[in-house]
Amino acid sequence: MKITLENTDKIVTLEVDGATVPARIWQGESESGVPVHAFITRVAPEILESNPDIDALTEQFERELQRTAKPRAMIDSIPLHLIL
């Protein structure tokens, strides 16, 4: 399955294996059009250290992460503290 996601500014707290971690909610859809949301705790660019443009690519990635979409109504109604 493939999904396309965009980040939102909505952050919740998850309890994972007894630890509390922040997670940003991302929203999107599957390739067949089913709306989805994901709780992302970490994201990093996969950039090979041998790439001479590593600093520029990392900076570009970080700038892109700063742009957020308006959460859909369903996502906006998720409580600030979500315990799994």
Per DSSP, the three-state class of 70 is coil
Q: What is the pLDDT of residue 37?
A: 93
Q: Is 59 helix (H, G, I), strand (E, B) or coil?
A: helix
Mean pLDDT along residues 70-82:
77
For residue 82, what pLDDT band results from cuts at 50, 70 and 90? low
pLDDT one-digit tens code per residue, 25-71: 999 999 999 999 999 999 988 777 777 788 888 899 999 999 999 98
Q: Is 79 helix (H, G, I), strand (E, B) or coil?
A: coil
pTM value > 0.85: no
Residues in the chain: 84
DSSP designation for 18: T
DSSP secondary structure letter of residue 78? S
Q: Return the pLDDT at 83.
A: 46
Q: Report the Cα 33 to chain-centroid distance in Å.
A: 19
